[in-house]
Structure 1
Amino acid sequence: MLTSQFSKGESYVSTPQAEPTPLFGALRASEPVPWDAFGRLAEVVRAISTLTQAPDEIAMQSVLIVVSLATQAHADAEFLFGSVPLSCFALTVAQSGERKSACDHLASTAVERFDVERGRKYYHEKRKFEAAKLAYQKGRRRKRNDDFDVIDDDIKKVAVDLPPEPPLYPAMRISDPTIEGLFRQLEIGFPSVAVMTDEGGQFFGGHSMKKENALKTAAGFSKLWDGASLTKSRASSEPVQLNGKRVSLHLMIQPGVAQSVVGDPIMKDQGLLSRVLIAWPESKIGSRVIRKSEARSAEEAEAKSVLAAFDKRITELLNADLPIHPGTRADLQPRVLALSEKARKQLEDFYNRVEQASVKGGAFEYMTGFAAKSPEMAVRIAGIQTIFADETAPEVTAETMENGIGMMEWYLSEMLRITDTGRPNEELRAAEELRSWVCDKWHKDFIDKRTMMKYGPGHLRDGNTLTRCIQKLEEHGWLVRGAGKQVICGAVSRTFWRVVRSGALQ
């Protein structure tokens, strides 16, 4: 019900009798990082958080994917149904200034150093290959049609006169790939890689995720997560089959991009989002004060020592011999980590709990895809921790399986929290920005469009955009249109609104 409010005989405005409604749900607070479940890696996460003062979740995601990259080539893990790779996909949501890049750099120092060192060696080997290729071609021209070599005095056999093979491209970290580019790198390069970038918005807004390419990209990454064979067929070239490849993924994106990604029906229906571990931490901007003290210096020194030990271990894993399939140069043939009897029982119990919570009306009703894959992801995380501790370990123990399950319980709660928030479109997000500015930054009771255009958020100062935002705020009760005239910023306005702030009616 609305009543009329008159002001000095000049104007009146309808006064709402109910609180305005939110444009979309707000994220509730996240659960604390599951330190106990991260095992030996917990101290590494704490070290990065200490040095960067970034949210713990960002450091946790960066460490998990670097360790996934370092271990995924060495083993697969036994699951309830067959075996699964140790590869993990992660999505970290945080705005600019949360020190995503700093966390990523500290976690992946060993990987970056590995790529630089192997890259220098690669270019030297490539020059030798080009020389050998040229010599081979000259030799073939001289030899012409002579395809036989004398093996002994009595026997002639067809010579196996193959050209020299180029060296494998050694880079393990990929920053901005298309799915075609990733396939090409796996074809000519190292069989174990990770796509890691703190500019994930460029990936989702780039060529790979355009409407005509999104389904192909999502399907390709899903197959890579599964560890499945990949076939690429083109009319202009011979078909290529990729076997024994492992890929991890870590994309860092801003909240605005995240809303569109989480709400993308292609990403959901195809199943890529069901394979991604999402973390959306609360901001720490404004609380990261630099304090100089002996205690702080000691904390930083300890953190650097922890990271040095971590880098050493990652380097050992990256330089270890890989289980390559006989007769190939770069097809992995990882052994399978067995589940101990107790670990299998723990996994079965976790599987049953998740399955029961996925029924209609259950906690995971609206995220069944992710929930269904959570037992498998728990095994992957347990396998990663096992190989990080000892690459020769024969099985996943009950203690490590408990860690994997504990981490997946956290990721389930995080996905549930994000899913419960709702998935506003771009128009609603723009309207929310305007609402926030009007209610929090504009401290007067009345406002008009001219004032919003002059002082409001810069990227919303477009007539059509502003009109649509105002309409949304009217629909939800944050702006109530007045009649008559009102003086605003020294000018008379005949089209204006009363600002309704939450709690003002109480």
Structure 2
Amino acid sequence: MLTSEFSKGESYVSTPQAEPTPLFGELRASEPVPWDALGRLAEVVRAISTLTQAPEAIAMQSVLIVVSLATQAHADAEFLVGSVPLSCFALTVAQSGERKSACDHLASTAIERIDLERGRKYRLEKREFEAAKLAFQKGNRRKSNDDFDVVDDDHTELDADLPPEPPIYPASRISDPTIEGLIRQLEIGWPSVAVMTDEGGQFFGGHSMKKENALKTAAGFSKLWDGATLTKSRASAEPIQLSGKRVSLHLMIQPGVAQSVVGDPIMKDQGLLSRVLIAWPESKIGSRVIRKSEARSAEETEAKSVLAAFDKRITELLNADLPIHPGTRADLQPRVLALSEMARKQLEDFYNRVEEASGKGRAFEYMTGFAAKSPEMAVRIAGIQTIFADENAAEVTAEAMENGIGMMEWYLSEMLRITDTGRPDKELCAAEELRSWVCEKWHEDFIDKRTMMKYGPGHLRDGNTLTRCIQILEEHGWLVREAGKQVIGGAISRTYWRVVRSGTTK
């Protein structure tokens, strides 16, 4: 049967379809946030969740990364072998409307305020530097003219004064998550930073994670997580060597992108995914009613008081003197928090439990990379809680180590829950990314391959890859092949599909 007339084409409607089927299995319910293991951070997480009515796990992720940023410059922590930074990487999965940004804003109020204050001071110092630089250049020119005939035996000019150094760019929060932008900021700026953005989808779908850049990006972030020296060679400038830097990371993404990230072979093979703490809580949308009562007002008042104390503590840590390596302006030299005897025994026991659970046929068989890193991440979390409580602490206590292990047991459970949705392969992940783009970014009812090739996710613009993705979406009912012709993107197409969005089939 013919559809209603089109001004520039016609189409034959296919048989009405059933609701499309998801490409991946449904997630089972998540475990409750590990309140006991959060230590002093528990009341902060509750306060943010109370004020925003967001899922507790989102608030927990935001608080953890803010505290990681505030503590990572002050100390490293002893591990089973050597020492590790206190930096943490986190990935929060939630759809639009879950108030991810609100949680992040409340957790990072002190960071935003301090960055603003330091930015104002920096701009003034930058103007003073430019004036001093200009005066230095003028002075050198005069000196060169005055001493034109005064040279040494090698025909070089006599020693001149050193030029003034530019001020250090003071921002500790970075919203641009590209590895190039991060390296540049670490080169000229503060040695302890956090990449925090609620637009994590732009990172995974943007320039940084295109096929030709993905390996470099993943490797760069992994090295920064490790606290390793990062080098970069440039044809037009001096090589860069970054050491003594600390970086935390918090990316917030939507569920449509998350499955692609979890199943990305580059993320897995290179090891970046094994370094990331993932939370994917159930939605609270539809249940966040406004309640006016004395009890609710009391809850909000208490929550604001808790956040005020948290902001004060974060401010103290961010404004404390940094342990800078002698002879440098911005290379950190953190001291090492020792493990108490009991803390080391707890860590060894946890390591053994995780190792046994990683064998063939055991619980962590399909997530061995993340499992192998979990003892180290438990130490990082224990160190973060230790420095948050007392920046002059000498060791990680048994209580702090128990908290770090408790939080990592929750993250292991969360990663297991996510990977158990079908352990998606590369083709399904690519198809899900295309489905997400077609259903959410393409607002027309019809689409053709030419349009997907031109405007779709960049790394899927390969003919064979795109053909296979389209085939999978057809099999699951998200794209329905139509007959006839249709105007799409200003051109007539004879091979095209009707887009089926969940909840819109009739």
- Where in structure 2 are the equivalents of 1:227-246 lying within 5 Å? 227-246=227-246
- Where in structure 2 are the equivalents of 1:114-193 lying within 5 Å? 114-144=114-144, 161-193=161-193
Q: Which residue of 2 aligns with 1:48?
A: 48
Q: Secondary structure at the match of 1:212?
A: helix
Deviation at 1:263, TM superposition (A): 1.0
List structure 1 segments (4+ residues) > 4 angstroms apart after TM superposition: 20-23, 428-434, 456-460, 463-471
Partners in 1 of 2:473 and 2:63 — Cα distance?
44
Kindly tell me: are residues 365 and 321 of structure 1, through their superposed partners in 2, closer, same or farther at Cα, counting changes over 3 Å?
same
Partners in 1 of 2:105 and 2:441 — Cα distance?
33
Residues 290-342 of structure 1 show CA distances to partners (whole Å, capped at 9, x for unaligned) of 01001000000000000000000000000000000000000000000000000
Partners in 2 of 1:220 and 1:457 — Cα distance?
30
**Contact (CA 8 Å) 1:89, 1:276: kept in 2 or not?**
yes
Residues 107-127 of structure 1 show CA distances to partners (whole Å, capped at 9, x for unaligned) of 000000010000000000000
Partners in 2 of 1:342 and 1:146 — Cα distance?
71
Q: Which residue of 2 aligns with 1:214?
A: 214
> 472, 475, 483: which one pairs with 1:472?
475
**Contact (CA 8 Å) 2:22, 2:476: kept in 1 or not?**
no
**Contact (CA 8 Å) 2:27, 2:417: kept in 1 or not?**
yes
Q: Which residue of 1 aligns with 2:341?
A: 341
Q: Which residue of 2 aligns with 1:407?
A: 407
Q: Secondary structure at the match of 1:213?
A: helix
Kindly tell me: are residues 459 and 427 of structure 1, through their superposed partners in 2, closer, same or farther at Cα, counting changes over 3 Å?
farther
**Contact (CA 8 Å) 1:431, 1:469: kept in 2 or not?**
no
Kindly tell me: are residues 463 and 250 of structure 1, through their superposed partners in 2, closer, same or farther at Cα, counting changes over 3 Å?
closer
Q: Secondary structure at the match of 1:101?
A: helix
Moved more, 178-187 or 318-327: 178-187
Partners in 2 of 1:115 and 1:419 — Cα distance?
38
Residues 263-314 of structure 1 show CA distances to partners (whole Å, capped at 9, x for unaligned) of 1111110000000000000000000000100100000000000000000000
- Where in structure 2 are the equivalents of 1:24-43 lying within 5 Å? 24-43=24-43
Deviation at 1:235, TM superposition (A): 1.2
TM-score between the two structures when normalised by the length of structure 2: 0.80
Partners in 2 of 1:253 and 1:463 — Cα distance?
25
In angstroms, what is the RMSD of aligned CA positions?
2.6
Asked if 1:91 is matched to 2:75, the reply is no
Q: Secondary structure at the match of 1:425?
A: helix
Where structure 2 has 5 or more consecutive residues not aligned to the other structure, the ranges are 1-14, 148-157, 450-468, 481-506
Kindly tell me: are residues 460 and 25 of structure 1, through their superposed partners in 2, closer, same or farther at Cα, counting changes over 3 Å?
farther
Deviation at 1:83, TM superposition (A): 0.1
Kindly tell me: are residues 128 and 197 of structure 1, through their superposed partners in 2, closer, same or farther at Cα, counting changes over 3 Å?
same
Q: Which residue of 1 aligns with 2:484?
A: none
Partners in 2 of 1:184 and 1:467 — Cα distance?
39
- Where in structure 2 are the equivalents of 1:166-315 lying within 5 Å? 166-315=166-315
Q: Which residue of 1 aligns with 2:319?
A: 319
Q: Secondary structure at the match of 2:117?
A: helix
Kindly tell me: are residues 430 and 160 of structure 1, through their superposed partners in 2, closer, same or farther at Cα, counting changes over 3 Å?
closer
Fraction of identical pairs, as percent: 84
The one-letter code matched in structure 2 to 1:171 is A
Deviation at 1:206, TM superposition (A): 1.4
Q: Which residue of 1 aligns with 2:356?
A: 356
**Contact (CA 8 Å) 1:72, 1:85: kept in 2 or not?**
yes
Larger radius of gyration: 1
Where structure 1 has 5 or more consecutive residues not aligned to the other structure, the ranges are 1-12, 14-19, 148-157, 438-455, 480-506
Q: Which residue of 2 aligns with 1:425?
A: 429
Q: Which residue of 1 aligns with 2:446?
A: 462
Q: Which residue of 1 aligns with 2:112?
A: 112
The one-letter code matched in structure 2 to 1:255 is P
Residues 452-484 of structure 1 show CA distances to partners (whole Å, capped at 9, x for unaligned) of xxxx99858326699957852489xxx9xxxxx
**Contact (CA 8 Å) 1:378, 1:405: kept in 2 or not?**
yes
**Contact (CA 8 Å) 1:100, 1:198: kept in 2 or not?**
yes
> How many pairs were matched up?
428
Q: Secondary structure at the match of 2:49?
A: helix
Q: Which residue of 2 aligns with 1:5?
A: none
Partners in 2 of 1:243 and 1:353 — Cα distance?
34
TM-score between the two structures when normalised by the length of structure 1: 0.80
Q: Which residue of 2 aligns with 1:4?
A: none
**Contact (CA 8 Å) 2:382, 2:396: kept in 1 or not?**
yes
